[in-house]
Amino acid sequence: MQKISLFLFQHKNSTQIGIQFKYNTDILDHLKKLETVKWSRTYKAFYLQQSKENQQLIFNHFRKINCFIDYEKLKENKPLKTKTIAHNVLKLPSLTESYQEEINRFKKWLTQNRYSPNTIDTYVEVTVFFLRYAILKNVTEFSKRFIEAFNYDFVVVPNKSISYQNQCINGIKKFLQFKHIKVEELAIKRPQREKKLPTVLSKAEIKQLLNATTNLKHKTLLSLIYSAGLRIGEAINLQTKHIDSKRMLILVQNAKGKKDRYTLLSETLLVLLREYYKQYKPKEYLFEGQNAEQYTSASAQKVLQHLAKKVGIKKRVTLHTLRHSFATHLLENGTDLRYIQELLGHSSPKTTMIYTHVSSTSIQKIKNPFDSL
């Protein structure tokens, strides 16, 4: 019997029931049938809000697939404290009702301005922290000095990442724009991101990963991402009508930057896709989970990490690693950088240029002076 562990933790000012188990695709697919279940990055667990009804719901749901439920930690009734550093340092109060209404209007405004769901979630999240900080400091007018103080207390002191600091700046600026508030030039310099090179797998490692799975859906999805250089969001949004087998192209619609583009359709992948289609018969999306809903990026990422561990790849492998590997292998095969830019959907050639730094072709041609000593 598969073991399901339940525990309590604090999140979003309320107690949640955490759900953890050893990775298993059947359990994962079954769990996602619960529409209200969410994922916590902090605790690496799925969760539902704590209530007797939800507790019973979890018990009944997992008993359907004959799982053993360990609920000893629920009996202790001692929720784990939130791990977020900013909360521990600042002890931010809850939003007032008026500010909550403001946040709802801000979210609606962002939606009307056609920002992506991920961008909306990020901007709303940082703005909530900003307003809670304002309540803590008893501030009602957002001056330049106050915003700089928030940046220092909330980002610099807890040593948040450079990427997160930029997200905070963007989110606050959008909120001020929404409120028609003009603030003099901020003395917050946008720090430059670390120029880290992308992780790239060799062709042999890609082959190892794909050969390690007997699940046709998993193999087809990962093969598609690599062979077409897709982002995971682009892959799970594909429909059968987007596969043009006559022209051997894949249409990627409404990708990053709200742009459409074409990318390559591999002949080997086409054979795999036809076999996959006959077996799974997808209805709307090319890749679907249980009950014909859209397949999730979290499920795909779990599959890849499991395979990487299985074949012994020590590099930090993500779904985006397959896209990086596609671009690097094209470059090493002599494909012009401009074509790679088009296939990846990069708006600037500077973004694509990073693959010249990870390609081994030119470096391998250089004779090492140590060899001639």
* Candidates 217, 219, 261, 346; catalytic one: 346
Give yes or no for a contact between 225 and 232, defined as CB atoms under 8 angstroms apart: yes
Alpha-carbon distance of 289 to 117, in angstroms, equals 21
Residues 132, 12: Cα–Cα separation, whole Å: 13
Q: How many CB atoms lie within 10 A of CB 38?
A: 13
Q: Is 355 a catalytic residue?
A: yes
Is 218 one of the catalytic residues?
A: no
- 320 included as an active-site residue: yes
Query: Of these residues, 30, 173, 256, 302, which one is catalytic?
Result: 256
Question: Which residues neighbour 231 within 8 Å (Cβ) at sequence distance 6 or greater?
Answer: 255, 256, 320, 323
Number of neighbours of residue 40 by Cβ within 10 angstroms: 16
Burial of 235 by CB count in 10 Å (0-12 exposed, 13-18 middle, 19+ buried)? buried
Catalytic option among 217, 323, 324, 329:
323
Whole-number Å distance between alpha carbons of 195 and 192: 8
Encoded tokens for 259: 């742009």
For residue 274, what are the contacts with CB-CB under 8 A and spacing of at least 6? none
Catalytic residue among 123, 276, 295, 355: 355
Of 213, 244, 208, 232, residue with least CA distance to 301 = 232
* DSSP-assigned letter for residue 5: E
Q: Which of 61, 219, 231, 329 is catalytic?
A: 231
C-alpha distances in Å from residue 281, one per residue of 38, 291, 293: 28, 12, 13
Active site residue 346: yes
Kindly give the residue spans of alpha helices, DSSP state H, lying in the chain: 25-31, 52-63, 72-76, 85-90, 97-112, 117-136, 144-151, 162-178, 203-211, 216-228, 232-236, 267-280, 297-311, 319-332, 337-344, 349-352, 355-358, 361-364
Catalytic residues: 231, 256, 320, 323, 346, 355
